[in-house]
Structure 1
């Protein structure tokens, strides 16, 4: 026990490192909420970029997901072994900022569609790589007694950061005819300048953790001892094989949660696109909906902790996914009844996203044998990345299917079919979850 404490980093304890760490989550809302979900994704799928832009967005994000699946599993392992976690957090965050700046040059014309999609996909890839390093820092600033509160603090700052930035964007650039600095919507300038603000926002709120969580030079591995990419994959597959042989229940949960978590991500990724394309929301109305969605998601996530402790995490996940399937199906079947349907059932979808995500994490915490927390939570992140192409592919695939079934020439007219793709991913995750046992004291059962 004493050896473990000696090896663990101790230079980052205290209140400020926690705040600095959480501010990265606040800053990440710029790319995660504003760019990917509610502003740029809506902009790039507008009529200005030609027919079929929504489906092409799905394929671009699906391709990004495949690349994340191929390379994200080894980024955390290699950063840990090299002792350069902050360095790689810095590099990947910087690349997200570069991609955000690049989006400023995407003008509202079909000629710029693929530039926008490629930059958006690249930003998603580097954002996920940065998130691997960021999540891995949690154990460096927390103890078993406060890890849940600290994790929730960062998650909460992410929601709050999204709300604040969306309000700034809405009242500063999108809503006024002439916004700050004389910006108007001519040639998409309001959205394009928002991309520059997002880049600045990410930069400013990433600096605290980068400057605070310094890499320990003494912990760095000599260059000659670094693990090759092939060896990193070999070790990863060895971990998965050992888990499958010794703790299959946890393996089942990792598979199930990876699938339904990708469906949860798909709800937010394509929610703004659906609001604008199918229900006719203006960019301003999409942002208002986004603020409301973040508010209800944040409140519901905090409140769900009581039910998690009372009923256990599995009923919370099952109940959340079931309600989401009902709400999503209602949106599909009643889409022709106007924006009221989306406001009602779209917000209902958002109510259950946070509780399902939070309960998923606590479920796994109860399954992990003592002493295996870091390894299994690392695999939890890996499996989520490995299937991150499913929801985008299902979204685009069902739009194509819907166009074929209804016989419409314009795929954008079948965009509402994409919601069925997201529901399929959530339903598959729910079905896989039925394979997972939940007991009163799973830790003691797995510890032997």
Structure 2
């Protein structure tokens, strides 16, 4: 059984005992550490701590949800435009690690600057700019680290490795979230979840405990990326060209690849499918905490518990999904999880403080909270397994010599319409004046992605 490494099946071309095996294991573990290091941006900043903090400072859940949607939508457009071009440059120059260093700096800087978001002088647009700088850094770094996946092991092991990486990342998110809730994030009473004042003498009156999520995320990434940079080595590219020549030739070749995409029907339909269902999933992650804070009136600590539950089920089912991926292939795993998440998107609309699935409840009822915790667990389970299998499916669809460009296109497909979910939620929320009705566009996005999967071949167009 494989958890966070290679198994030793017979008849496969794997490293054996000794230095080669140790080197292979270290390389895989180093690759896992990117997921561990980067996950807090999603867990702490995007969803469970900083997003709800913005709602509490702005004071209007609908207004905060709209602004959040517009800002992240704009960042998504930039990511969509540049990811495939940068990927094409890296494929020709063989310089993935240099790009990862650059985008890591953006991640750390963007996260750190969120400390300067005190309620007294809170400027939501300035906060969003720094938040998006870090988000862009994380997304670009993810494109380049994903492209290294097929170099780690034979194809039949990639599902388990990808699933284990996602699981390890979720565990990192849980640990970081527990630290925030127990030691830093203050509730309305100025105390953390265990009833103490924020550590290091941080002032709860100015929300310093909660704002410390920015520096914590930055430091976490900087520390835990050390194994990645020490242990992961990019294979040498025999026909690598200079970075200047790569930049000059990348755009013409990328245009040629884009023109040929419609003729590669399986790859084309997979990119379209994942474009829609990943956009819907990101919408769930982005607005989950904001929805809970605005509709159910949850405080930061409650949203944090919700996040721990979702991350825990995400870790478990990313690992289980990875095992299923290696055994059955990624396509059936993707289909099952899209179906689950579509059902969750429908269910979320029917959970509010006043009613649960059409049944009226009193103001003191815990049923809405329990229902949303269950839905959060399902979001984590479906999301973890879906994302893990999606990147192994991309490996099966892509041409090996253009893997970084392919993952750039994968990022493009994830971001070309990434503004649709947040902007659709923003517009729907503005029009209806309801956070509940505002999230209904996610249902349609999941269904479109599901239909497009019908034309995706499990192993792509290439002959295995």
TM-score of the superposed pair, with normalisation by structure 2: 0.82
- Residue 253 of structure 1 corresponds to 270
- Residue 282 of structure 2 corresponds to 265
- Residue 18 of structure 1 corresponds to 28
Task: Choose the corresponding residue for 2:253, options 235, 247, 269.
Answer: 235
- Residue 160 of structure 2 corresponds to 149
Please show how residues 16-415 of structure 1 align to structure 2 within 5 Å: 16-48=26-58, 52-109=63-120, 111-144=122-155, 146-174=157-185, 175=192, 176-213=195-232, 221-222=241-242, 224-228=244-248, 231-245=249-263, 247-305=264-322, 308=325, 313-335=330-352, 336-337=354-355, 338-364=368-394, 376-377=406-407, 379-403=409-433, 414-415=434-435
- Matched residues in 1 for 2:240 and 2:402: separation? 23
C-alpha displacement of 1:29: 1.5
C-alpha displacement of 1:360: 3.2
- Matched residues in 1 for 2:385 and 2:164: separation? 15
Q: Contact conserved, 1:397 with 1:421, CA < 8 A, in 2? A: no
Deviations 1:91-123 (A, max 9, x none): 111111011111001112574211111111121
After superposition, the Cα gap between the structure-2 partners of 1:344 and 1:139, relative to the gap in structure 1 and judged at 3 Å, is: closer
- Matched residues in 1 for 2:239 and 2:259: separation? 28
- Matched residues in 2 for 1:74 and 1:369: separation? 16
**Range 364-373 or range 135-144, more displaced:** 364-373
C-alpha displacement of 1:415: 1.7
More helix by share: 1
Q: Contact conserved, 2:349 with 2:440, CA < 8 A, in 1? A: yes
Q: Contact conserved, 1:65 with 1:389, CA < 8 A, in 2? A: yes
Residue ranges of structure 2 left out of the alignment (5+ in a row): 1-19, 186-191, 356-367
Q: Does 1:423 align with 2:443?
A: yes
C-alpha displacement of 1:310: 6.8
Deviations 1:168-211 (A, max 9, x none): 11111122441211224211111112211111101001122224
Task: Choose the corresponding residue for 1:433, options 416, 431, 453.
Answer: 453
Q: Contact conserved, 1:331 with 1:346, CA < 8 A, in 2? A: no
C-alpha displacement of 1:358: 3.3
**Range 339-348 or range 139-148, more displaced:** 139-148
After superposition, the Cα gap between the structure-2 partners of 1:147 and 1:28, relative to the gap in structure 1 and judged at 3 Å, is: same
Q: Contact conserved, 1:62 with 1:392, CA < 8 A, in 2? A: yes
Deviations 1:28-48 (A, max 9, x none): 022121111111111112244
C-alpha displacement of 1:347: 2.3
- Matched residues in 2 for 1:93 and 1:362: separation? 23
